[in-house]
Structure 1
Amino acid sequence: MLFPFIKNNYLSIDVGFRNIKVVEVAVNRSNEVYIKNFGIASTPLNCIKNGVIKNVDAVSSEISRIIRENNMKVKKSKIVMSGTSIISRVFLVDKVSDQDLDAVVNSAIGKNMPINLEEHKIDYKVLQELKENGQDKLKIFVTAVRKNIINSYIDVLFELGLKPISVDIPANSTAKFFNRDIKVNIDNVKFVNPNKGLNKDAFAVIDFGSETTIINILRNRILEFNKVILTGSSNMDEAISTAAKKSIMDAERLKKMYGISMPPAFDGSEEHIKVYKTLKDMVDKLINQIYMCLTFYEARCYGVKVGKIFIIGGGSLLKGLSDYMEQALQIPVYPVGLLDIDGIDINRNLNSEKLNFLVNAVGITL
């Protein structure tokens, strides 16, 4: 792929609980992304706690090895932080002049969020204007992250001798991606704008990671809800390992082999039955939490009914997951990979099997 009008090259880093992903990308003036190279390695044990990188040296050393072994030369870098450390809320506040809005929002945060304002970096955006009991109100989406968490990620970039451009959160990466056309099969249409179709203007993007499941709801191209559930694919591996008395590695293999597919009625193996029952129990609990988030958004966040769900991340590859979710939630569910997103291309010499793990790392470069 030729990029005659390159705008920027970035090294994008996603430090997760299980894996570190480093991606070298080129972004042109039309915001089209070309993935030049990437590397994935295991995150050193006990290096991240509650979103903070506790062992900067160990994490930096592993990232340095990925960069060196993949011959990455770019210095400008962006990093995405762990999803567990982010607090978000939706408030209604009185409509006031722009000069007074910061004070009104900070007052609402003080009353509604259990945080110390001095210790947190606060971002907010106005979602819409509306009336409540005849009063003009503003619907506000607030995100708060502890400053020491942000600093721990910046420390990693400095330790590596990189030039920090931004520290971002997974939800922002998702929102940027899903403003684009998506290649999924909706009524035999190849390209779909997530904000159109099915007569709904709100959709969910659910990121199934190794340690967390992150639920994002977007309405009219704007992120309006974000929730982190502390259950991921590694928890499923552990549950299968216990139930089937297998190693974690064997449990992960069985999970991939059987997925959440019902065993044959008469000749299903004992192993398949155990895996299915274990996964069904965990997925049912997860779907119940997802359902509660969707209803909470609609009832308590001044939202609307979600019309479709896109699933991303390594955990979304679980066999049978999208059909199972669709039947349980009665909402269309569409698996989306990185190359299903319009304006994303990849160096064809790279292994494309791992692309689903790179969504957040690539998204923050936009």
Structure 2
Amino acid sequence: MVTLPFIKNSLISIDIGFRNIKIVEVEVGKNNEIFIKNFGIASTPKGSIKNGAIKDVKSVTNEIKKVMNEINVKTKNAKIVMSGTNIISRIFLIDHIPGQDLSVAVRNTISQNMPIDMDAHQIDYKVLQELKENGSSKLKVFVTAVLKSIIQSYIDILIELGLKPISVDIPANSTAKFFNRDIMVNENETWFKKKKYSKLSQNTFAVIDFGSETTIVNILRDRVLEFNKVILRGSSNIDEAIAAKLYKKLDESERLKKIHGMELPETNVSEEQEIIYQCIKGVIDDIAKQIYQCFEFYEKRCYGDKVGKIYIIGGGSLLKGLRDYLEDVFTVPVYPVSLLSIEGIEINQGLDSERLNYLINSVGITL
């Protein structure tokens, strides 16, 4: 075991997704340096999550316990990240009146514009900026709302595991924490691309998390999260499309997806290859259309700037040809990002670095 001099806090973080549960043990330094001691990935029991809430605490905790034993976790302090499907986020413009109680103004705005039970939800907000509209001073406020019962279902997991709950967080916050740091990416751009992209804003960018069941769109301006949307389509939909067309089992369809991706050979294309390509492209086209709608909504309804570049994360971002496809569709540079692309991350020797792309949310909540 490597021991680093800056270490002060040990944490375990747990990210429960629809397909996989990611468990990471980290040590966090005084300047938020992160040392990944160990990690494990388990399959999420089928039917254990519904609408973002944990419905079968026992089966989930049993899977987590197995992994914790396998990787020999000793830490008790724990953070957990929620599934993103039942997290509501909105941006509102609120009249800026000197001396007003902003929390009351936010709650009044939510009650008038969001069809939710205010008492049943945990509501958090962040002021993004002050601006003028028709001569009046306004505050642009980013609001998130989550059912308290869903938050409690995640706390129950930690208690059942005998861990000390430190926080329950959402994927968007994890992403925002990481992308406040310097990101080391391979530019790998031609002179033509650099010229074409040179006039785009570098202060506004998207981080797109390609997951199994969902695709999460985050937009940050000046490294501050200003937009978040969960698209209910993910890489598992590709597996299902291939399985339906080729009469294959899902695990075989997933294998074919990984082999072929969005790249067709120039010659001697078989009928099966063509079908696989069309299945993948059909799902990705649908996701890209919804991403584009998110960008438009952010610009027109959230007083945002045009997105100048895209970072892609998550297991689905490893799909062959996805980066080139997204660059062609959105005409902005696209950068795949792994944990080791992010400043201040170190990993214990001997760990499988190829699987780190699945861990950005689970590591990000430790900050």
Structure 2 CA distance for aligned equivalents of residues 142 and 69 of structure 1: 39
How much has 1:198 moved relative to structure 2?
5.2
Structure 1: which 4+ aligned runs deviate by more than 3 Å? 196-199
Q: Describe how 1:268-287 pairs up with structure 2 within 5 A.
A: 268-287=269-288
How much has 1:197 moved relative to structure 2?
9.8
Structure 1 CA distance for aligned equivalents of residues 201 and 236 of structure 2: 36
How much has 1:352 moved relative to structure 2?
1.4
Structure 2 CA distance for aligned equivalents of residues 228 and 272 of structure 1: 30
CA contact (8 A) 2:239 2:254 kept: yes
Structure 1, 316-325 or 236-245: larger mean CA deviation: 236-245
Q: Alpha-carbon deviations, 1:60-93, whole Å to 9, x = none?
A: 1111111011111100000000010100000000
Aligned residue number for residue 194 of structure 2: none
Aligned AA (1:7): K
Aligned residue number for residue 192 of structure 2: none
Q: Describe how 1:143-222 pairs up with structure 2 within 5 A.
A: 143-186=144-187, 199-222=201-224
CA contact (8 A) 1:263 1:269 kept: no
How much has 1:96 moved relative to structure 2?
2.5
Q: Alpha-carbon deviations, 1:210-246, whole Å to 9, x = none?
A: 0100000001111000000000111111111111111
Aligned AA (1:232): G
Structure 2 CA distance for aligned equivalents of residues 236 and 5 of structure 1: 44
User: Is 2:124 the partner of 1:123?
Assistant: yes
Q: Which runs of no fewer than 5 residues in structure 2 stay unpaired?
A: 190-197
Give the 3-state SS of the residue equivalent to 1:183 in structure 2. Answer: coil
Structure 2 CA distance for aligned equivalents of residues 350 and 324 of structure 1: 31
Aligned AA (2:298): Y
Aligned AA (2:251): M
Q: Alpha-carbon deviations, 1:258-292, whole Å to 9, x = none?
A: 0011342x410111111101111111111111011
Give the 3-state SS of the residue equivalent to 2:142 in structure 1. Answer: strand
Give the 3-state SS of the residue equivalent to 1:186 in structure 2. Answer: coil
Structure 2 CA distance for aligned equivalents of residues 355 and 150 of structure 1: 26
CA contact (8 A) 2:181 2:342 kept: yes
CA contact (8 A) 1:175 1:222 kept: yes
Aligned AA (2:240): E
Aligned residue number for residue 363 of structure 2: 362
How much has 1:208 moved relative to structure 2?
0.3
Structure 2 CA distance for aligned equivalents of residues 11 and 26 of structure 1: 9
Q: Alpha-carbon deviations, 1:119-139, whole Å to 9, x = none?
A: 000000100001111111100
CA contact (8 A) 1:37 1:350 kept: yes
Q: Describe how 1:66-85 pairs up with structure 2 within 5 A.
A: 66-85=67-86
Structure 2 CA distance for aligned equivalents of residues 77 and 62 of structure 1: 16
How much has 1:345 moved relative to structure 2?
1.1
Structure 1 CA distance for aligned equivalents of residues 188 and 98 of structure 2: 46
Aligned residue number for residue 55 of structure 1: 56
Give the 3-state SS of the residue equivalent to 2:283 in structure 1. Answer: helix
Structure 2 CA distance for aligned equivalents of residues 185 and 250 of structure 1: 32
Alignment equivalent of 1:236, drawn from 222, 235, 238: 238
Give the 3-state SS of the residue equivalent to 2:97 in structure 1. Answer: coil
How much has 1:166 moved relative to structure 2?
0.3
Structure 1 CA distance for aligned equivalents of residues 332 and 228 of structure 2: 19
Q: Alpha-carbon deviations, 1:84-115, whole Å to 9, x = none?
A: 01000000001134651111111110111111
Aligned AA (1:213): T
Scaled by the length of structure 1, the TM-score of the pair is 0.95
Structure 1 CA distance for aligned equivalents of residues 137 and 284 of structure 2: 42
User: Is 2:275 the partner of 1:259?
Assistant: no
How much has 1:167 moved relative to structure 2?
0.2
Aligned AA (2:18): F
Structure 2 CA distance for aligned equivalents of residues 75 and 175 of structure 1: 25
Aligned residue number for residue 193 of structure 1: none
How much has 1:2 moved relative to structure 2?
4.2
Structure 2 CA distance for aligned equivalents of residues 197 and 338 of structure 1: 29
Give the 3-state SS of the residue equivalent to 2:181 in structure 1. Answer: coil
Structure 2 CA distance for aligned equivalents of residues 197 and 72 of structure 1: 49
Structure 2 CA distance for aligned equivalents of residues 325 and 187 of structure 1: 15
How much has 1:187 moved relative to structure 2?
6.7
What is the root-mean-square deviation of aligned Cα atoms in Å? 1.4
Structure 1 CA distance for aligned equivalents of residues 32 and 272 of structure 2: 48
